[in-house]
Amino acid sequence: MTLCLFQTRTGKASHKYAPSASGTWHLSEEVIFLVFQRLNWNPKSVATLSCVCKWFDDLAKRVLWKEFCKTRAPKMMLDLQSSGSHSVDGNWRALGKLLIYCSGCTKGGLFNSIHVPGHFVYRTRFSRTSGKSFLLPQCRTDVLYVSDPCEHLDQGEEGDIGFFRGIFKSFATSKVRKMLIKREAQLHPTEVCPYCKAKLWSMLQAKMVPASASCRLGAYEDAIEYYVCLNGHVLGICTLLPLSDSEEASDHKGKKMIKVLGLFYVRHARHHCH
């Protein structure tokens, strides 16, 4: 980060204070950087600072949210920037919010389901490997990070609901975006991304939700819907399988794998005997 050197009222160089657009004097970027570094880039403190004035809001968007993202998910951030970009699709504040905020849904809104209030989460794991399960085979060279589902249980007739979110790397050049355009997918007429306010494509409407997504989420195959915005942010909902059903499915897969490995061992042994 380039640290700015500002002038005090007396004209002497100072690292401590900087002028704002209103003519008042603020602490410089260097001092604020050190303060928030000490606070370990606490997102609530960053959000509070950004509400003070335009200068602080700009600093938070350019520097503080970026440092928060790098601290919260360092490997993911390195990967997202490895294409040579010094920024991410959307902006750092939107990505910071995506890392820690489950958007929920409103009845008659994006998912036209039930009302589940959005809320902040302490920590969520995002996985590039899981992201492959949400892509059609012809798009699996794209890089997509997807979170574990945020579980909201006993939602009346809807049962157990899970919300998931994610982000594409270099979405503007992704195969998913090209396929959405090729299939003439329509942007949602009213709803926008809760993280960056960009327009949204429905992956379900474009018939681009693979069956592998339900296995990854532990959800019913016909009860998954997700959207991707123009900046590559993903948000989705699913109806989760009952725990017993999930365990049975997992056990079935485990037995099948043991059987395959057993056949491999027998064939391998026969080959060496001959």
pLDDT tens, residue order, the chain (274 aa): 333 333 333 333 334 444 444 444 456 788 888 888 888 888 888 989 888 888 888 998 888 999 999 999 999 999 998 876 556 777 999 999 999 999 999 888 898 778 999 999 988 899 999 999 999 999 999 999 999 999 999 888 888 999 999 999 999 999 999 999 999 999 999 999 999 999 999 999 999 999 999 999 999 988 999 999 999 999 999 999 987 655 554 454 444 433 333 433 333 443 444 4
CA atoms within 13 A on the CB side of 79: 14
Q: Do 227 and 110 have their domain in common?
A: yes
101: left (phi over 0), alpha (psi -120 to 50) or beta: beta
How many other C-beta atoms can be found within 10 angstroms of the C-beta atom of residue 28? 18
Q: Chain centroid to CA 173: how far?
A: 18
96 part of a folded domain: no
Domain assignment present for residue 159? The answer is yes
**Coil vs helix vs strand at 126:** strand
Alpha helices in the chain (DSSP H): 29-38, 43-50, 54-59, 65-72, 74-80, 92-100, 128-132, 175-182, 212-217, 243-273
Residue pair 32/59 in contact by the 8 Å Cβ criterion = yes
Q: Does residue 56 form part of some domain?
A: yes
Based on the domain organization, do 219 and 110 belong to the same domain? yes
CA–CA separation, 39 and 129 (whole Å): 32
pLDDT of amino acid 254? 46
Domain of residue 191, residue span: 106-246
User: Which residues fall within 8 angstroms of residue 140, CB to CB, at 6 or more apart?
Assistant: 132
pLDDT at 87 (0 to 100)? 63
- Would you state the pLDDT for residue 85? 59
C-beta of residue 32 within 8 angstroms of C-beta of residue 43: no
Task: Identify the bridge partners of residue 51 per DSSP, sorted by sequence position.
Answer: none
This prediction's pTM: 0.78
* Closest CA relative to residue 245, chosen from 221, 273, 213: 221
Tell me, yes or no, whether 66 and 111 share the same domain: no
Same domain for 225 and 122?
A: yes
Is 52 within the bounds of a domain?
Answer: yes
Residue 125 lies in a domain: yes
- Spatial separation of the C-alpha atoms in residues 211 and 103, rounded to whole Å: 24
CA atoms within 13 A on the CB side of 242: 3
The reply to whether 178 falls in a domain is yes
Q: Which of 117, 135, 80 is nearest to 194 (CA)?
A: 117
Specify the number of domains making up the chain: 2
Q: What local confidence, expressed as pLDDT, does residue 26 receive?
A: 52
- The reply to whether 112 and 40 lie within a common domain is no
Residue 44 near residue 21 (C-beta atoms within 8 A): no
| Residue 214 shares a structural domain with residue 115 | yes
